[in-house]
Amino acid sequence: MDGTALARRTTEETAAEAARVLERTGTAPCLATVLVGEDPASVTYVRMKRRRCEQAGIRSKHVPLPATVTTAELVDTVTALSEDPGVHGILLQHPVGPHIDERAAFEAISPAKDVDGVTMHSFAAMGFGLPGFASCTPAGIMRLLAEYEVDLTGKHAVVVGRSAILGKPAGMLLLGRDATVTYCHSRTTDLSRHLREADVLIAAVGRPRFIRGEDLKPGAVVIDAGYNEGNVGDVDFASASTRASLITPVPGGVGPMTIAVLLEQTVHAARTQLGL
């Protein structure tokens, strides 16, 4: 499943929409990126997201903060961005450091600007199936499944991982599309039995090549959301691709779709806030 190609097409549409917003209002959509500290992976992610924004005609306002920032200072910064009419979307790069109350910082993002889908409001909207901004990676996964016309109704979807930004919302979105969902995590006993029963497998573990071809049901659809050191996913692509009917590569699968959804949601947020 070619995430790079789908992300390119999605972002072309987003860029056209951003240009229409600018033409009609005189204002370009704007994403604020908040980065705490200088974790190399986070610096790279934020730089990549800002570059993609620029390519799509989305302004980005970068707010770097020292690693020593307090929860109160971070909350104040995010609150100011939530109230700034020139900012339409807010991305607070995770992780923010162990001394910070991350939930408090995320909740300072106004739901109208939560284009990364990290607030409790967005999470609840996803759960209820109501309009709201989805978590970008799970939403990107759903786009890939839709693009390849994977029928989810009644299918057994197994999600390995239950993080709040990835595994848990991915399962919620699959459930919303009538899949029968099993969550697996570090305390799951007999993981291999669940893997063998998966029609659709979402790997969101954070362990390089953790799932191998022999673990899979023949013909399974495999989505590898993992991104580990050395540019490797959670699935061993070489062995899994001989068994799966569809599989996402790493890189070039879920990763590009995550950014494409972020940009798309930023332009949607701008449209709404500018009254279009």
Structure-block tokens of residue 258: 């995550």
Among 187, 189, 229, 230, binds ligand NAP (CB under 6 A): 187
Near ligand NAP by CB under 6 A, which window of 63-71, 108-116, 180-188, 241-249? 180-188
Quick one: DSSP state of residue 148? T
Residues 118-177 that bind ligand NAP (CB under 6 A): 137, 160-163, 165-167
For residue 130, what are the CA distances in angstroms to 124, 133, 274?
A: 8, 10, 22
Active site residue 116: yes
The distance of closest approach from Cβ of residue 250 to ligand NAP in the complex, given in angstroms and rounded to an integer, is 8
Q: List the catalytic residue out of 113, 114, 116, 273.
A: 116
Specify whether the CB–CB gap between 118 and 109 falls below 8 A: yes
The distance of closest approach from Cβ of residue 1 to ligand NAP in the complex, given in angstroms and rounded to an integer, is 13
Residue 255 phi, psi dihedral angles, 5° rounding: -50, -55
27 or 42, CB closer to ligand NAP? 42
Rounded Cα distance between 100 and 113, Å, is 21
Q: List the catalytic residue out of 49, 113, 155, 217.
A: 49
94 or 121, CB closer to ligand NAP? 94
Structure-block tokens of residue 170: 């991915």
Residues ≥6 apart with Cβ < 8 Å to 266: 29, 30, 31, 53, 58, 88, 89, 115
- Sheet of strand 30-36: strand arrangement: 59-65, 30-36, 89-92
79 or 251, CB closer to ligand NAP? 251
79 or 182, CB closer to ligand NAP? 182
Active site residue 93: yes
The distance of closest approach from Cβ of residue 21 to ligand NAP in the complex, given in angstroms and rounded to an integer, is 25
Residues 200-259 that bind ligand NAP (CB under 6 A): 204-207, 225-228, 254-255, 258
154 or 187, CB closer to ligand NAP? 187
> Using N-to-C axis directions, what is the helix angle for 254-273 and 136-147, rounded to 10°?
110
H-run or E-run covering 184: strand 180-184
Which are the catalytic amino acids? 49, 93, 116
The footprint of ligand NAP (CB under 6 A) covers 137, 160-163, 165-167, 184-188, 191, 204-207, 225-228, 254-255, 258
